Amino acid sequence: MILRMWHGMTKAGDAPEYLRFLEARAIPDYRSVPGNLGVQVLHRLEGDRVHFLTVTWWESREAIAGFAGSDIEIAKYYPEDRRFLLELERTVTHWEVSGTSSPANGDGRQPR
């Protein structure tokens, strides 16, 4: 399994609308790609900026290429991103996943 991590940053006032965009457009796009195992969007306020991390889980690097194109190290952007993001970071990072544990037991209960 491969974890793909992208970082972006918006002005604090733009963050709620950007999060709605991610939920409506980007997350469904990720999920539609064969080999995508999941998506999480994290955000954190820091002063007058909000940092976003999009973490996606993939079966393989070939599956990522189905989303990102042949050079999977290059970030993929949507036209709407230019309206919100303070800069378009060129690359993403990938991590080989060697072990996992679910944050919940599938029924909403936290693991013991």
Q: Is the pLDDT of residue 108 over 90?
A: no
Compute the distance between CA of residue 54 and CA of residue 42 in angstroms, rounded to an integer: 6
- The pLDDT confidence band at residue 109, using thresholds 50, 70 and 90, is very low
- What are the structural domains of the chain? 2-92 (3.30.70.100)
**C-beta atoms surrounding 56 within 10 Å:** 26
Expressed in percent and rounded to 5, the helix, strand and coil fractions of the chain are: 30, 35, 40
Sign of CA dihedral 43, 96, 39, 32: positive
Given this model, what pLDDT does residue 107 score? 47
- pTM equals 0.84
In this predicted structure, the answer to whether residue 102 has a pLDDT above a threshold of 90 is no
